[in-house]
């Protein structure tokens, strides 16, 4: 498939995201995602972050297997989670769960710097190569237990977690700046909710349930 074909599919994907958002207006409280987010979704080549044999499905609004029992999230969920973060060009962001790097590349397009943690070394090495090929020079990636965050670079303006713990890890809350936002799926496997966690200037937390979701579980290094 040629680059123009992929570009057309990206435009179609973005239009489908916009329609899906309208359908969920009542739950989301708005009928459209931010323009910067949609522009990033239309620009970043999702086919560069999926397995070669799955490239024909890269722009379908569905999760795809990334290997090692993990998946790349459906485009709508990637767009929604990104939008909920309310990313600013000066933000320093922590991502827990690099996978093959697609969400990372979207974040890199919209922020100053992304620190991303992946538990599975093979995925991390693959993602690093894919991000480098796309020129994502504002990303630092390491292998490790995402539940612990990345204390050396904390606090973070925004935090995004792409796998689901039962409960929001206290270490990630601690590493969120006052005024910051975290988007994270959490809950028991059959009862996960996508959460928006906000910390105000006095370190007071508020949490809002956005949508029922189904994510891979956020594993810890000892369990692995």
Given a cut of 50, is residue 218 above it in pLDDT?
yes
Query: Does the annotation count 2 as an active-site position?
Result: no
Question: What confidence tier does 219 reach under pLDDT thresholds 50, 70, 90?
Answer: confident
222 — pLDDT class (breaks 50, 70, 90): low
For the chain, give the mean pLDDT. Answer: 94
At 204 the three-state DSSP class reads coil
pLDDT at 223 over 60: no
Q: How many helices (H) and strands (E) does the chain have?
A: 7, 9
d(CA 102, CA 98): 8
d(CA 183, CA 208): 10
pLDDT (average), residues 91-118: 97
Domains of the chain in start order, with CATH, are 3-212 (3.40.50.150)
List pLDDT tens digits, range 12-29. 999 999 999 999 999 999
Report pLDDT for 67: 87
**Integer CA distances (angstroms), 67 to 33, 38, 64, 96, 114, in order:** 30, 27, 9, 17, 23
The arithmetic mean of pLDDT across residues 87-99, rounded, is 97
Average pLDDT over residues 66-93: 95
DSSP states along 103-159: HHHHHHHHSSEEEEEES-HHHHHHHHHHHHHTT-TTEEEEES-GGG--GGG--EEEE
Picking from 105, 108, 148, the residue whose alpha carbon sits closest to that of residue 127 is: 105
Binned at pLDDT 50, 70 and 90, residue 221 comes out as low
Q: What is the pLDDT of residue 209?
A: 95
> DSSP assignment, residue 199?
E
pLDDT at 165 over 80: yes
Nearest Cα neighbor of 81 from 102, 58, 50 is 102
State how far the Cα of 19 lies from the Cα of 83, in Å rounded to an integer: 15
Q: Do residues 163 and 187 touch, judged by C-beta distance below 8 A?
A: no
Which one of the listed residues 66, 73, 116, 216 is annotated catalytic? 73
Q: Residue 224's pLDDT is what? A: 43
- pLDDT, one tens digit per residue, over 22-50 is 999 999 999 999 999 999 999 999 999 99
Evaluate if residue 141 carries a pLDDT over 50. yes
Q: Per the confidence metrics, is the pTM higher than 0.85? A: yes
| Among 220, 158, 163, 219, residue whose Cα is nearest residue 186 | 163
């Amino acid at each position: 498939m040629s680059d123009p074909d992929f570009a057309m599919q990206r435009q179609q994907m973005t239009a489908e995201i916009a329609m899906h958002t309208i359908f969920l207006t009542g739950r989301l409280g708005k009928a459209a995602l931010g323009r910067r987010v949609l522009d990033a979704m239309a620009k970043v080549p999702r086919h560069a972050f999926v397995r070669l044999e799955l490239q024909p499905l890269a722009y379908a609004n569905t999760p795809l297997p990334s290997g090692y029992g993990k998946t790349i999230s459906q485009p709508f969920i990637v767009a929604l989670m990104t939008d909920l973060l309310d990313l600013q060009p000066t933000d320093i962001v922590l991502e827990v769960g690099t996978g093959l790097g697609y969400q990372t590349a979207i974040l890199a397009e919209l922020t100053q710097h992304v620190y991303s943690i992946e538990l599975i070394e093979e995925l991390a090495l693959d993602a690093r190569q894919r991000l480098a090929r796309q020129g994502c020079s504002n990303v630092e990636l390491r292998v490790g237990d995402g539940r612990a965050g990345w204390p050396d670079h904390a606090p973070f303006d925004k935090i995004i977690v792409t796998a689901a713990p039962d409960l929001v890890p206290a270490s990630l809350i601690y590493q969120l700046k006052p005024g910051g936002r975290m988007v994270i799926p959490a809950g028991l496997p059959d009862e996960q909710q996508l959460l928006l966690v906000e910390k105000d200037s006095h370190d007071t937390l508020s949490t809002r349930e956005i949508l029922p979701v189904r994510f891979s579980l956020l594993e810890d290094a000892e369990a692995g």
